[in-house]
């Protein structure tokens, strides 16, 4: 019996096109973009002490998404070799070849340029300049220079993830002050105790790829000690915002309660590590850290409406 040749139909082409779109979206790392907006939007509200101007708000949200997407895309392209070596990341589009290096670079460049244009035209030049700094620091400073060379990579590289609060504040007020600096520092100190538990969970992956994350080069006791230290500094910094902003009872109460829970989780992780358990359940703190940041910045957003 003669075989019937299969020819791609409209359905096949639609699926292929949709998969290509999904691959290009994936290299922008949408989940990271969501987390960045969690800090940017409340920062805008606090800066305006209420709802910011609609055009400014849209500019910050859109410009911030484009800037983060551009930086993440450059990261996906540059890290394709180590992504291919790790079980957690080997299927990422650039690492697997689903998206070409050229395609990734073009996308990253286009998103980055668009973000700067949006912020410069619809917000102000300071916000646009801060976006340029954030993209450059993440794509070059962290991805190319720090990540593969130092165990403190995520500490300093995390500074790029703190930039949305500065961009948002600058877009609304046209300048910077101590309040956005404190917001910046909260996210800065939060990044290590957020990311090191994930690195503990995937320590073998990072070791196989030759990435010197702290859990790869230090024992678990040293890692959990650092997590506890950074957690305490983060919580204390969140309390500094109360007199600096100044903040009312909504934020103050939330910062105290959420910070206490975070510290309890950090110390429990430390205790499990010291007890010699095979599974110290680091992802428990990792997932809570995301909830903590979201709820803390939700309190930042609500507080101006309640306390004025």
Encode the chain in three state secondary structure.
CCCCCCCCCHHHHHHHHHHHHHHHHHCCCHHHHHHHHHHHHHHHHHHHCCCCCHHHHHHHHHHHHHHHHHHHHHHHHHCHHHHCCCCCCCCCHHHHCCCCHHHHHHHHHHHHHHHHHHHHHHCCHHHHHHHHHHHHHHHHHHHHHHCCCCCCHHHHHCHHHHHHHHHHHHHHHCCCCHHHHHHHHHHHHHHHHHHHHHHHHCHHHHHHHCCCCHHHHCCHHHHHHHHHHHHHHHHHHHHHHHHHCCCCHHHHHHHHHHHHHHHHHHHHHHHHHHCCCCCCCHHHHHHHHHHHHHHHHHHHHHHHHHHC
Q: How far apart are CA 124 and CA 240, in angstroms?
A: 28
In this predicted structure, the answer to whether residue 146 has a pLDDT above a threshold of 80 is: yes
What does pLDDT average to over the chain?
93
pLDDT category of residue 156 using cuts at 50, 70 and 90: confident
Tokens describing residue 115: 């973000």
Rg value, the chain, Cα: 21
Please say whether the structural domain 177-308 has been given the CATH code 1.20.120: yes
The single-letter DSSP state of residue 277 is -
Q: How far is CA 33 from the centre of its chain?
A: 7
Q: Which of 4-8, 263-267, 274-278 comes out lowest in average pLDDT?
A: 4-8
Q: Can you give the pLDDT at residue 1?
A: 44
pLDDT of 14 > 80? The answer is no
Given a cut of 90, is residue 158 above it in pLDDT?
no
Q: What residue spans in the chain does CATH classification 1.20.120 cover?
A: 177-308
**pTM of the predicted protein model:** 0.92
Q: Please give the CATH superfamily to which domain 28-174 belongs.
A: UbiA prenyltransferase (1.10.357.140)
Average pLDDT (53-75) is 97
pLDDT tens figures, 79-88: 999 999 998 8
* pLDDT above 90 for 101: yes
CA of residue 97 relative to chain centroid, distance: 25
Q: Prior bond to 192 cis, omega within 30?
A: no
Confidence of residue 2 (pLDDT cuts 50, 70, 90): very low
For 13, 14, 17, 18, 98, the CA distances from 10, given in Å and listed in that order, are 5, 6, 10, 12, 21
Query: Per residue in 169-217, pLDDT tens?
Result: 999 999 999 999 999 999 999 999 999 999 999 999 999 999 999 999 9
Phi/psi class of residue 210: alpha, beta or left (left: φ > 0; alpha: ψ in -120 to 50)? left
Give the pLDDT confidence score for residue 16 in this predicted structure: 84
| Domain(s) of CATH 1.10.357.140: residues in the chain | 28-174
* 219 burial type by CB count under 10 A (0-12 exposed, 13-18 middle, 19+ buried): exposed
Residue 152 burial (CB count, 10 A): 14
């Amino acid at each position: 019996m003669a075989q019937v040749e299969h020819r791609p139909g409209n359905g096949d082409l639609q699926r292929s096109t949709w998969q290509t779109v999904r691959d290009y979206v994936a290299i922008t790392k949408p989940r990271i973009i969501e987390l960045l907006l969690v800090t940017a939007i409340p920062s805008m509200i606090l800066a305006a002490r209420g709802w910011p101007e609609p055009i400014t708000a849209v500019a910050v949200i859109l410009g911030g998404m484009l800037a983060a997407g551009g930086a993440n895309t450059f990261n996906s392209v540059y890290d394709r070799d180590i992504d291919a070596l790790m079980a957690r990341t080997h299927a990422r589009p650039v690492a697997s070849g689903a998206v070409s290096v050229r395609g990734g670079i073009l996308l990253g460049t286009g998103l980055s340029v668009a973000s700067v244009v949006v912020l410069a035209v619809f917000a102000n030049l300071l916000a646009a300049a801060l976006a340029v700094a954030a993209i450059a620091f993440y794509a070059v400073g962290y991805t190319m220079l720090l990540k593969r060379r130092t165990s403190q990579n995520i500490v300093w590289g995390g500074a790029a993830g703190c930039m949305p609060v500065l961009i948002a504040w600058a877009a609304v007020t046209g300048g910077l002050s101590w309040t956005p600096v404190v917001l910046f520092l909260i996210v800065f100190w939060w990044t290590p105790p957020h990311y090191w538990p994930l690195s503990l969970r995937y320590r073998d992956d990072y070791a196989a790829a030759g990435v010197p994350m702290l859990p790869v080069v230090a024992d678990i006791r040293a890692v959990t000690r650092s997590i506890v230290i950074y957690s305490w500094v983060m919580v204390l910094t969140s309390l500094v915002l109360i007199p600096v902003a100044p903040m009312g009872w909504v934020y103050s109460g939330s910062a105290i309660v959420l910070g206490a829970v975070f510290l309890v989780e950090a110390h429990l992780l430390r205790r499990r590590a010291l007890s010699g358990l095979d599974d110290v359940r680091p992802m428990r703190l990792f997932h809570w850290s995301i909830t903590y940041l979201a709820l803390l910045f939700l309190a930042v957003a609500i507080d101006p409406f309640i306390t004025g």
